[in-house]
Each structure stands twice: as C-alpha cells, then as structure tokens.
Structure 1
C-alpha cells in the first residue's frame, strides 16, 4: 500500500488516500467522520436487539440504523467519491444499506468462506464504508491479493474463475479454515492494513478482497460498548 498525496479538504471533509497493491485501487481513510459518535453508540444500545442474518456471511449480528445516518453519511462522502473514484456527475450515489455490526462468532464456529477474504459485491460502482465505533484493540481491516490468480479485486469477468480456483485451493489446503484470517496465508497475501481508530471510516470499492482483522483473544462481545462495533454501509452509484 502506498499513500497518495493527501487532499486537505473537499466539501468540509479531510481525508487520506492510499493505493492498494498492484491494481492501485483507492482506499480512503476519514478520521472523526461524525461530530457525535457517542450518540451512535447510544442508538446501538437502544431499541430492537441485534440479530444474526441467515443469508449474510457476516460472522456476527447486525441491526439497521435510521435513514438519518445514511443521509449524513452520503452528504459527507459523495464529494469524496467524485473526487477520488472519479464518479461522474450523471452518476447519483445512494445508500443501499447502513447497519450496526458486532463480530461475535467464535473461530471454531466459522464456515470455510468466513476464513478467507471476501468481496461485498462484484460491481465496480458499489462502495463499502466501514465506520469504526470500537476500541483500537480490535484491530482493523486488511486488504488482500489472491496469490495464484494475482487478483486484488473480483469483477464480474473474474468471478467464476476466481471462485472455481479458490474452492479447489481451500479443499486441498489443510491449513485453511478454523480461524479468522489476519495476515498472510498460503492462499492470500496481505497488501494493506488500516488500524481501528474510534470514529474513523474507510471507503473502498466493494469488489476489493478484504477482511476484518478479528482476534477472539480480545473478546467478541454482543455488548455495543464492549465489542467490535462498526457501522457498515453500501453505496451504489447508477446513472440518473
């Protein structure tokens, strides 16, 4: 990962940009993204409980947040998307999902697909935002290159080939599975790592191979004030 020149401010948002790996996909880091992060933790504690999503591979529990957060987030990051990712004027970004997330699954209960880096979507016009609302001890987020194919992003053109190769490799690799990925393995090389900082947000294309740096040793609590609490959002951009 290499740092690109910092843009001091765009529409009131200060951020840093990094280039990921050989493909040089942008990764945006914004510190102190909201004015009152404690209010978000209070929202996570209040109202309906967190629940596991049966159709979701996320290793934990989630809870949706109101559209108010989505509106504020989009207001802040839309100028960044246009400036960094070259989003043209006719493309209008929309928040498709914003939800609190708590990592709670113990390593021995992970499915094989949860033990390797993943993508959120293969579409290049979808962006992921991870907003950290937890302590720095919880690690952060890492980005990876698949060693045998060299892929750092999984596009529609690469999708079928990548998952075919990955399935064969995982079945043949005795060391794969059984724990969260947290660094280099036989199958994947870590190309970047961004540490947790309270009220920090990351923005990257959803097709980038990535994974949270999860360690059960620091504690995987379902308490929003104690556990690895994040706000995860997906922003999709289509022609108006």
Structure 2
C-alpha cells in the first residue's frame, strides 16, 4: 500500500495570535517527509466516500492512525507549550482522514455556510494539512459580531448557540461558501493553502474552509482540494 506517514525531522513552524482574543495558531510548512506519498495514498483504493452526519462539505477517506501518531510525536513539545496542555495529558486521535471539498455551493446546508467550531473542549486540537495548491483555498478564522466571541468554550456555548440560532432563523445565510466578512461574522485571519503546509489550532476556534468553487470542486485527489484532517484530544488518564 502506498503512503509514507512520517513527518519531516525539522518542519518550519510559525506561531500566530488570532484576533483580539489572541488565541494561538501554528502554521507549519514542510510537515510531511514525503507529501507526494500521501497524495498517492489518496489516489489508491479504496475510494473517498461521503460520511453520514458529517458537516464537512465533501468526501473523506480514513488515514492510518500512524499519521496522527507521528504528528503528535514530532510536535509534542511545541504543542504542549503553545496550547498549554495539561501536565501528563496524552494524545488521543479522534479523527484521522483525507478530505476533498466537493459540494456545489447551492447544495450547502445552512450550517455549512457559517463559521463553525469542532468542540468546546480547549484541549482538543484540529490539524489541517494541505496537499493541494494555494488557489484551492486555505482556512479563515472569524469573530461573531454580536457576541465578540472568536472561540466557544463550555461557558459560552449555550448563550452563543441560542443567539446564533435566533439570528439564522431571522435571516438565513445566502447559499454559497463563506467568503470574508458577513452580516453575522467578521473575518479575523485567512491563511492560504500551500502544498505540505499544516495549520494547528484549538478546535473551539470559529473557522471555515476558505473554499473558492470557481477554482474547482474536483473529487480527484490529484486535482481537488485535498487535505489531511485530524482531531486530537489531549486528556489526563483517569479524567473524563
């Protein structure tokens, strides 16, 4: 089976502070030791498929757990330092998959037209590893105008969810992928895609794929917006 899931020994790492709440974002260039091998794995059998209950606007294919394990091992020190992870916490990959954006703009569900967060848990990290060229779109981060929130934790969750539901019911978002500022959200950062670049951020950060449908929504791994996506939760053994 094709695929080398090792990380480069010394990728280039840049730390950015997002928005007014100054939450950390890591931009890592040259993450994979052999990124072309990941593309070959993506193009091999089995095929990509849509996943029921998944809000991702496209199709996915599982990656071996070794991909996320290698990532955590290579970046362990910097992840613990930058994201202030609990002492003794261990990494648990919750998702490790290749993803390709394929959904036409007019078929997006309302929730897919808005910035989202993956979890309210501050110790769960999201990794987006681009295996595509810049024109297919990077990732943008947002502030909710009414609340000023740029991330959603357990204390903010209930009030934010109720407020956003009321806003969306009163004025549903127009069909299409989010592109910059909107009536409800202000874009605070936009990081472009670059082949073999990865972004790592807390999963409770408000974000959205910066997808340009005019550049194509091909389902072919070698021409589509191919990314490797991981959700990694850090928890201390014996705690919920």
Structure-2 residue corresponding to 1:165: 163
Query: Hey, what's the Cα distance between the residues in 2 that align with 1:135 and 1:14?
Result: 18
Q: Give the TM-score, by structure 1 length.
A: 0.92
Structure-2 residue corresponding to 1:16: 14
Superposed CA deviations along residues 113-156 of structure 1, whole A, max 9, x for unmatched, are 00000011111110000000001111210000000011100111
8 Å CA contact 2:137–2:225 kept in 1: the answer is no
Structure-2 residue corresponding to 1:210: 207
Q: Which runs of 5+ in 2 are unaligned?
A: 1-8
CA shift for structure 1 position 88: 3.9
Structure-1 residue corresponding to 2:196: 199
Superposed, which structure 2 residues align to 1:1-240 within 5 Å?
Answer: 12-173=10-171, 176-240=173-237
Superposed CA deviations along residues 28-65 of structure 1, whole A, max 9, x for unmatched, are 00000011000000000112111111111000000001
SS of match in other structure, 1:71: helix
CA shift for structure 1 position 13: 4.3
SS of match in other structure, 1:33: coil
Q: Between Structure 1 and Structure 2, how many residues are aligned?
A: 229
8 Å CA contact 2:12–2:30 kept in 1: the answer is no
Query: Hey, what's the Cα distance between the residues in 2 that align with 1:76 and 1:95?
Result: 15
Calculate the aligned-residue CA RMSD, in Å. 1.2
SS of match in other structure, 2:230: strand
Q: Give the TM-score, by structure 2 length.
A: 0.92
8 Å CA contact 1:74–1:95 kept in 2: the answer is no
Q: Which runs of 5+ in 1 are unaligned?
A: 1-10
8 Å CA contact 1:78–1:93 kept in 2: the answer is no
